[in-house]
Chains A and B, each alone.
Chain A
Amino acid sequence: MTISIRSVEKTFGRFPALNGVSLEIADGELLALLGPSGSGKTTLLRVIAGLEFPEKGQVLYGDQDMTYTSAAARRVGFVFQQYALFRHMTVAKNVAFGLDVRKGQAKPSKSEITARVDELLKLVELGELGKRYPAQLSGGQRQRVALARALAVNPSVLLLDEPFGALDATVRKSLRKELRRIHDATGVTTIFVTHDQEEALELADRVAILNKGAIEQIGAPHEVHDNPAGAFVCGFVGEANRFEGAVKGGRFKSVDIELAAPGVADGAAVAFVRPHEFVLAPADQASLSIVTERIAPQGAVVRVDGATPSGQRIEAAFARQSAGQLQPGAKLNLSADRAYVFSA
């Protein structure tokens, strides 16, 4: 199902949560809504679900206007951060709920429901746990049940609100892969909310980055990471060292660094350099120098923490081989392979 969101506005009291958001989600797509807390991403998800209604704008499922249709009539699958499983029902009853509440002709027979529940529990790899109660499951298992429950109604769209937020790091990682696998197996249009950029970049086909109730950029993970549309996206997606300064005649200058800034208008500006885009350079070609403080190997790279003479903290990452001779306390001359400069 294609989902279209057109100039949606929503306020809570005097606080604007969504500020004219427009977004198209293709059929079968896995989209991440990424943003810091208070950016409006959960509100947007709940507007799509019908759990909140916007003051302005439209929400379309396919070409059908659903803006003010109740959640119950939309046939969405919704997964909550805190699972929201029915605590007094078994796992199987939980999963069957969406089918059990149907009426008359639309309600499948008992054996059909049982078969569907078995199939879904198998899909989320909980085949044996149908008779347990939610309280008897681990966090990861609960979220799998919630996922199976949401999928039971054959939703036109699957919506997940910070689905891995309450889980520990290992479970989080494996469930992420699981969600991707389930998405590919079912082909259902999926939108998930997260504040974890790593999660969004790893899992999603496209990422929509929200800030202060508006979408800053939408694109494939590599696009938003490598070609950020603005200072906010650049600082939020991926790690970056931030410099404040000014552009004059195509050059960015701050106290610590000087960078090429082709096409950026003169005036106050911010520049970002990702840690891995710093390279060691001879003193006469360096754009900044730092004093190293900590050197930590991390897989194929070595991470270096240091500070410029003016005191700004710098993070850099080098390939293992090129960094063999690094010592804490040593002075390093760096140049940036690539930098992002935006007018402030």
Chain B
Amino acid sequence: MSRLRHPTEDPVWAKAIILGLVGLFLVGVLILPMVTVFFEALRKGLPAALESIQNEDARAAIKLTLITAAITVPFNVVFGLCASWAIAKYEFPLKPFLITLIDLPFSVSPVVAGLIYVLVFGAQGWFGPWLLDHDIKIIFAIPGIVLATIFVTFPFVARELIPLMQEQGVDEEEAAVSMGASGLRTFWSVTAPNVRWGLLYGVLLCNARAMGEFGAVSVVSGHIRGLTNTMPLHVEILYNEYDFVGAFAVAGLLCFLAIVTLVLKALLELVQPQSRPGRH
């Protein structure tokens, strides 16, 4: 007679197949390609790889990527906090519409996001002539890259915070206010601590995407080496020039940043239960 098992527990062969499939996909789709990146980058040895991320163009690309992330992330933190605050704490018409709108960057192709800005700010766009007259460059310059990156990353923080704030409701804020706390004090002492882990989580995801965005940035960047090339664009250029070591070395750096982000995220999930002693 076979061992008694729980009604919802699958038989051993089913577990093996399901786990095996998951493992196969992970190895084939994620792990092997990641290993290849580092393998190709180091094909000609570490010095060659290091050289290709230290030359002038690569350094400019890294710098631009960091600048873009440094502008995009704070902007999205502010936007995410405002949007989720408004959605969770206020009642207003068109609220479901706003929630849907926040998801738009997830559902629209990044290339379209880039094109939108070209159409608005480009030389032939709505504001093109005016911008030209005033000598302001947005498209094929850093502002365009930042705008496009903000567009594709703005759901991250908001999406993380909206369900959290909705679940928490307004009772704690009302309690704080009834005890004489000012609006700002209520935010810092009550609201912010309650959402800090969700916020940090959203920031990490937002940052990862901001550094890695290709499509939208590619449209507005103009690919000027040393000026408007971000890391993902730089990878493409090097690859197209058959500089495989260079391409994979920069790609490896991007992968490394992504892995750091994921490790931070995992650490966050580990510390979370202790720092916030459960929900009630």
Contacts and interface: CB of A to CB of B under 8 A. Distances in A.
B82 interface: no
Interface stretch (A3-11, A76-84, A272-280, A295-303): A76-84
Given A82-B171, A88-B276, A101 B190 contact: no
Interface in A80-102: 80, 82-88, 97-98, 101-102
A149 B277 CA distance: 20
Of the listed residues B182, B194, B277, the one surrounded by the most CB atoms of chain A closer than 10 A to its CB is B277
Given A78-B174, A84-B172, A88-B194, A101 B179 contact: yes
- Shortest Cβ-Cβ A-B pairs, 7 listed: A84-B171, A98-B179, A135-B278, A133-B277, A78-B178, A101-B181, A84-B175
A134 interface: yes
A204 to B, nearest CB: 22
Identify whether the interface residues of B are mostly helix, strand, loop, or mixed. helix
B280 A134 contact: yes
19 contacts: A71-B174, A72-B181, A74-B178, A75-B180, A78-B175, A84-B175, A86-B175, A86-B190, A86-B193, A87-B194, A97-B179, A98-B179, A101-B179, A101-B182, A102-B180, A133-B277, A134-B280, A135-B279, A136-B277
Interface residues of B, number: 21
Given A80-B171, A101-B185, A101-B189, A87 B276 contact: yes
B277 A97 contact: no
A153 B278 CA distance: 28
Given A84-B171, A97-B189, A101-B185, A71 B177 contact: yes
A77 B194 CA distance: 22
A80 B174 contact: yes
A278 B181 CA distance: 56
Contact of A71 (B171, B178, B277): B178
A88 B171 CA distance: 14
A163 interface: no
Interface string B184-210: 010001100110000000000000000
A35 interface: no
A72 B175 contact: no
A171 interface: no
A335 B178 CA distance: 53
A253 interface: no
A87 B190 CA distance: 9
A76 B64 CA distance: 53
A88 B193 CA distance: 7
Contacts of B171: 80, 82, 84
A76 B277 CA distance: 29
A89 B172 CA distance: 12
Interface string B96-137: 000000000000000000000000000000000000000000
A213 interface: no
Interface string A121-161: 00000000000011110000010001001101100000000
